[in-house]
Amino acid sequence: MKKAIKFLAIFLVFAITAEFLPITKAFAETVLQCDTSAPIYLQPQKSYTYRFSAYGNFIPIFTVGDGSVIQISSVKKVKIENGTDYYVQVKAVGKIGQATGLYETLPGQKPIVNNIITIGTTPPEQLKAGEKWGLYGIIDCEQADPIAIVKTGVLEPVVVPYDRSRTFEEHADAFLSNTHVADFVNNNFQHGDSQFYTPVVTYTEQNGKYGLIIRDWRRSKSESYPWALNSVLSVFVYFLGHDAGESLWAYYDDFKTTHVTVPSANYGFADSNPNGNTGTFTYKDGAQVDYDYQNGYLTVLFHDR
């Protein structure tokens, strides 16, 4: 869960706005801002241009994690007050389902990922009646839909909403009413036939909180793993709410499929321990979840809301 801090050795306070704010020389030593920090999706051979604003007397370096997936086509500089704008154009040269990160490096610092670029997984087809696009390319269904069985990243309708007064078992009955794509036996979402089941995701209670232990995940965007991952998505949305639940699912999916550290802030979460594997995520609407990532297993425990 580690993530890098982009604003280095300075304390800055910004108003919440989609526009860049002017920064005076007194504060601008090594400040780099980008107009795009959320994950993006490119069709093969398509390009995208970022604008990085560098305030101060330094030259940033831009790289990609895998040049066979995404290539930097050009970097153009434009002088601005107290700094320089860098227009960085990238091009998708890999295959559908591949992903990598765009990295920035400040003087004397290690490279940090700006965002994740995925090829070909932006909504490629028209949705059917009763389907709509959720966050980060997730499909929201208004009614039970067979697509949830064959496609990863599909949210079935939440017919039983969250109620904090429920017991451990009552919560399970509730969120199971919202998902129908995985077997649930002895608090495990499982995979396999007859008696030969492999528990992949476990519903758990720890320290007075309810949550999931996630032992496995898909390793690329092209890998299909809908029965387990869509069940996790449904549980996330049940306990955290629609936006926080989909954002947490997308964050972990990008982390596991790109194999690089991704900033939780890009998905709307503040991290209580940005340099560690155990802490609390707080979504921008106040929803909270504790996380513990050890040996490839993720444990999440949801706070009451």
Residue-wise pLDDT tens digits, 210-249: 999 999 898 877 777 788 899 999 999 999 999 999 999 9
Which comes out higher in pLDDT, residue 46 or 202? 202
- How much is the pLDDT for 178? 85
Task: Name all domains of the chain by residue range, CATH numbers in brackets.
Answer: 31-119 (2.60.40.10), 131-302 (no CATH)
Residue-wise pLDDT tens digits, 248-280: 999 999 888 877 777 898 899 999 999 899 999
pTM of the shown model? 0.63
Residue-wise pLDDT tens digits, 74-127: 999 999 888 999 999 999 998 877 889 999 999 989 999 999 998 875 555 567
Which comes out higher in pLDDT, residue 140 or 197? 140
**Structural tokens at position 81:** 């007050």
User: SS3 for 90-153, per residue?
Assistant: EEECCCCCCEEEEEEECCCCCCEEEEEEEECCCCCCCCCCCEEECHHHCEEECCCCCHHHHCCC
Beta strands 139-141 and 154-155: pairing type? parallel
User: Which of 18-27, 146-155, 272-281 shows the lowest mean pLDDT across its residues?
Assistant: 18-27
- Over the chain, what is the mean pLDDT? 83
pLDDT at 13 over 50: no
Residue count of the chain: 305
Chain centre to alpha carbon of residue 71 = 22
**How far, in Å, CA of 305 to CA of 236, rounded?**
13
Which comes out higher in pLDDT, residue 144 or 176? 176
The residue whose two tokens read 């101060």 is 56
- How much is the pLDDT for 145? 72
**How far, in Å, CA of 64 to CA of 105, rounded?**
11
Contact (CB, 8 A) for 4 and 23: no
Mean pLDDT, residues 162-170 taken together: 96
Q: Of 260, 254, 176, nearest to 269 (Cα)? A: 254
Q: How far is CA 237 from CA 70, 128, 142, 196, 231, in A?
A: 32, 22, 14, 29, 10
- How much is the pLDDT for 191? 59
- How much is the pLDDT for 118? 87
- How much is the pLDDT for 122? 54
How many CB atoms sit inside 10 A of residue 85's CB?
A: 16
Query: DSSP state, 160?
Result: S
User: Which of 29-33, 66-70, 112-116, 199-203 shows the lowest mean pLDDT across its residues?
Assistant: 29-33
Mean pLDDT, residues 124-144 taken together: 80
Where does residue 117 rank: exposed (0-12), middle (13-18), buried (19+ CB within 10 A)? buried
Contact (CB, 8 A) for 156 and 144: yes
pLDDT at 61 over 60: yes
- How much is the pLDDT for 16? 33
- How much is the pLDDT for 163? 96
Sign of CA dihedral 213, 218, 220, 222: negative
pLDDT above 90: percentage of residues in the chain: 48
**Structural tokens at position 32:** 């780099």
pLDDT at 10 over 90: no
pLDDT at 15 over 50: no
pLDDT at 166 over 50: yes
pLDDT at 141 over 60: yes
Contact (CB, 8 A) for 246 and 234: no
- How much is the pLDDT for 197? 54
Mean pLDDT, residues 14-28 taken together: 36
